[in-house]
């Protein structure tokens, strides 16, 4: 497993490296102190599994970096880290396709839990406070409605389940779930799972409220 940590403070990079070692014994943590170096490493390491990206970097902010990663490595999941909680930034980061947004003041256990979820193909939606007069603009729901099965998949997607977990819960193959997710993305006119979740929330869809599967059950 290869994870790229992008932060301009060496002490924070080292701290994240120590925490990420809790994922598994052979995790390989790469470090970059700038976005430019991060893009170089991402090109050099095609087997990269995840990026932990600081929002505030000297050469580029997190939104700009997400754009570059999205163009060059669209399948690479990214967790954005920030030292402050700004509702507008949180909304923008998730709209840009980040798999998760976490604050640096969070606990190590939370980082590991969210990292495991993202590595398994899931997304972590932060609590996004409503900003008066600055609502997120999402694609309008198209005339073609979701099928009942697609709505079931969407509801579990809203709960943060991975494709594998959704397949087990609905007795579907993982490939079938991927096809349903692709159809959901097309219906909402978006390109990422995160954008689909945000669009679904805007149009009144809600999760099932079921508890997350235990780690042993999700493997």
CATH number at residue 170: 1.10.10.10
φ and ψ at 103, to 5 degrees? -95, 150
> In this structure, are 155 and 212 located in the same domain?
yes
CATH code of residue 6: 3.40.50.2300
User: CA separation (Å) from 72 to 90, 99, 150?
Assistant: 22, 16, 29
Q: Which of 3-7, 83-87, 174-178, 181-185 has the highest mean pLDDT?
A: 3-7
Q: Is 12 a domain residue?
A: yes
Q: What is the spatial distance between Cα 76 and Cα 72, in angstroms, rounded to a whole number?
A: 9
Last residue of a domain, one of 119, 136, 168: 119
For residue range 141-197, list pLDDT tens digits in order. 343 457 778 888 888 888 888 999 999 999 888 888 988 888 888 777 788 888 888
Whether 160 and 206 map to the same domain: the answer is: yes
Q: Which of 71, 101, 119 is the last residue of a domain?
A: 119
pTM for this structure?
0.62
134 in a domain, yes or no? no
- pLDDT tens for residues 152-165? 888 888 888 899 99
Q: How would residue 217 be classed by pLDDT, with cut points 50, 70 and 90? A: very low
DSSP letters, 107-126, are -HHHHHHHHHHHHTT---PP
12 and 98 together in one domain: yes
Instruction: Flag whether 143 is in a domain.
Output: no
Per the domain annotation, does 137 fall within a domain? no
Place of tokens 């945000």: 198
102 three-class SS: strand
Co-location of 97 and 18 in the same domain = yes
The number of distinct structural domains making up the chain is 2
Report which of residues 206 and 11 the model is more confident about: 11
Same domain, residue pair 91 and 30: yes
Strand order, beta sheet including 50-54:
28-32, 2-6, 50-54, 78-82, 100-103
Mean pLDDT rounded to a whole number for the chain: 80
Which structural domain, as residue segments, surrounds residue 160? 148-218
The confidence score (pLDDT) of residue 193 equals 84
Q: How far is C-alpha 43 from the geometric centre of its chain's CA atoms?
A: 20
Give the residue from 99, 119, 139 where a domain finishes. 119
């Amino acid at each position: 497993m290869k994870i790229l940590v992008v932060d301009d403070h060496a002490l924070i990079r080292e701290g994240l490296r120590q925490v990420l070692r809790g994922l598994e014994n052979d995790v390989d943590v790469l470090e970059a102190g700038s976005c430019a170096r991060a893009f170089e490493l991402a090109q050099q390491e095609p087997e990269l599994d995840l990026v932990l990206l600081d929002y505030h970097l000297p050469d580029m902010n997190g939104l700009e970096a997400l754009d570059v990663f999205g163009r060059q490595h669209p399948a690479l999941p990214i967790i954005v880290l920030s030292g402050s909680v700004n509702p507008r930034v949180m909304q923008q980061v998730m709209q840009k396709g980040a798999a998760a947004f976490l604050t640096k003041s969070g606990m190590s256990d939370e980082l590991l839990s969210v990292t495991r979820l993202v590595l398994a193909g899931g997304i972590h939606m932060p609590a996004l406070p409503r900003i008066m007069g600055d609502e997120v603009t999402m694609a309008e729901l198209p005339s073609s409605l979701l099928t009942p099965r697609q709505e079931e998949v969407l509801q579990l997607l809203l709960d943060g389940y991975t494709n594998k977990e959704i397949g087990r819960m609905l007795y579907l193959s993982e490939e079938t779930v991927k096809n349903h997710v692709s159809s959901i993305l097309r219906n909402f006119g978006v390109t990422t799972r995160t954008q689909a979740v945000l669009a679904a929330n805007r149009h009144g869809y809600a999760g099932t409220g079921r508890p997350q599967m235990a780690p042993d059950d999700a493997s």
